Amino acid sequence: MGNLWQKLTSLPLLRSEASNEPYGGTTDANSPDLAAATLSHLEHLTGRPCSRRQIYRIALTHRSLLHDHQGESERPESNQRLEFLGDAVLDLLISEHLFRLYPESDEGHLSSNRAKIVNRKALAAFARELKLGEHLIIGESANLQKIRTSDSALADAFEALVGAIYLDQGLDGAKRFIMNHVITMVDLNRIVEAEFNYKSRLIEFSQSHQLPQPVYTVVAEEGAEHEKTFVIEVSCNDIPLGKGTAPRKKDAEQLAAREAMKRLENENPFHQATES
């Protein structure tokens, strides 16, 4: 962690142009502080004192505030840079959690599941649950209500807050926050089951391409009666797409659908059939 922090704070991106302190490392006495209610709310969410308050203020500052200070020599800073940092921290910690939780999942499934957890709509939902919209710092000339309920503004604020927590409390603090307010908020089992439900994915594919629903056919039964395995083929529009073999028909169907999805990711057999 020490080496990682040294590397990160040595980057120009994370350093103040006015000093050699890490980005947001000090709060100028003349800088506007966080509102007491906001500070109390953030400390409740993070479970720790917010010692570097200016970072948190920036995390909640919407870019519309900059419009109100155009032409001024010292303009406030919006949360866009912190959003960039928080996005990377969030991806890292969610990736690590999924990597440890599902050791048999390949890279594709891990990436897909991570995307379902940290997409913009999901992040906005997390922000709403944490009532971040009520604490956003918005320009007076902007539509306050529209921004406070905007998916984009809320998702940005959530990522920026993760970045602020990382800078203030380190990776452990960010991990604690994400475990409490992201991991516990999502049904990972449901997400993973949906990802591995190849039959559902194949149905979705057929519907989105205006094709008939897939048909599963037992093409062979192998082995003795007490240890029989089923070979099932799935087809769509009378075109065979894949086969699966398993002791249970449902499992064989899933395997057949998986083979079909892999094939459909690389080719379009329906297009080929039309041409022939």
Compute the distance between CA of residue 6 and CA of residue 16 in angstroms, rounded to an integer: 15
What is the pLDDT confidence band of residue 74, given thresholds at 50, 70 and 90?
low
What is the pLDDT confidence band of residue 68, given thresholds at 50, 70 and 90?
low
Compute the distance between CA of residue 260 and CA of residue 237 in angstroms, rounded to an integer: 13
274 domain residue, yes or no: no
Looking at the fold, whether 108 and 175 belong to one and the same domain comes out as yes
7 domain residue, yes or no: yes
Looking at the fold, whether 113 and 226 belong to one and the same domain comes out as no
- pLDDT tens digits along 146-175: 888 889 999 999 999 999 999 999 999 999
Looking at the fold, whether 188 and 241 belong to one and the same domain comes out as no
Looking at the fold, whether 143 and 219 belong to one and the same domain comes out as no
Looking at the fold, whether 21 and 122 belong to one and the same domain comes out as yes
Looking at the fold, whether 177 and 51 belong to one and the same domain comes out as yes
Among 181, 130, 123, which residue's Cα sits nearest to residue 153? 123
What is the pLDDT confidence band of residue 73, given thresholds at 50, 70 and 90?
low
Query: Can you say which residues are annotated as belonging to the binding site for Mg(2+)?
Result: 83, 156, 159
- pLDDT tens digits along 190-240: 776 666 678 888 998 899 889 999 999 999 998 877 778 999 999 998 999
174 domain residue, yes or no: yes
Cβ burial of 248 (10 Å; 0-12, 13-18, 19+) is: exposed
Among 217, 214, 218, which residue's Cα sits nearest to residue 203? 214
40 domain residue, yes or no: yes
The arithmetic mean of pLDDT across residues 68-83, rounded, is 75
Query: Can you say which residues are annotated as belonging to the binding site?
Result: 83, 156, 159
Q: Which two tokens stand for residue 161?
A: 């807050």
Looking at the fold, whether 173 and 211 belong to one and the same domain comes out as no
Looking at the fold, whether 107 and 11 belong to one and the same domain comes out as yes
273 domain residue, yes or no: no
Note the pLDDT of residue 147. 86
75 domain residue, yes or no: yes
CATH number at residue 216: 3.30.160.20
150 domain residue, yes or no: yes
Tally the domains of the chain: 2
CATH number at residue 36: 1.10.1520.10
| Domain of residue 202, residue span | 198-267
- The residues that are catalytic are 87, 159
Looking at the fold, whether 230 and 138 belong to one and the same domain comes out as no
Domain end among 151, 166, 193: 193
272 domain residue, yes or no: no
Looking at the fold, whether 179 and 207 belong to one and the same domain comes out as no
Mean pLDDT of the chain: 81
Compute the distance between CA of residue 163 and CA of residue 89 in angstroms, rounded to an integer: 7
Domain end among 193, 210, 228: 193
Looking at the fold, whether 211 and 187 belong to one and the same domain comes out as no
What is the pLDDT confidence band of residue 7, given thresholds at 50, 70 and 90?
very low
Q: Which two tokens stand for residue 92?
A: 């890292």
Domain end among 153, 178, 193: 193
Compute the distance between CA of residue 5 and CA of residue 73 in angstroms, rounded to an integer: 31
Cβ neighbours of residue 160 under 8 Å, at least 6 residues apart? 58, 59, 60, 79, 80, 82, 83, 86
- pLDDT top residue among 109 and 261: 261
Among 120, 214, 207, which residue's Cα sits nearest to residue 158? 120
Say if residue 13's pLDDT is above 60. Answer: no
Looking at the fold, whether 186 and 221 belong to one and the same domain comes out as no
Query: What is the SS3 assignment for the chain?
Result: CHHHHHHHHCCHHHECCCCCCECCCCCCCCCCCCCHHHHHHHHHHHCCCCCCHHHHHHHCECCHHHHCCCCCCCCCCCCHHHHHHHHHHHHHHHHHHHHHHCCCCCHHHHHHHHHHHCCHHHHHHHHHHCCHHHHCECCCCCCHHHHHCCHHHHHHHHHHHHHHHHHHHHHHHHHHHHHHHCHHHCCHHHHHHHHHCHHHHHHHHHHHCCCCCCEEEEEEEECCHHHCEEEEEEEECCEEEEEEEECCHHHHHHHHHHHHHHHHHHCCHHHHHHHC
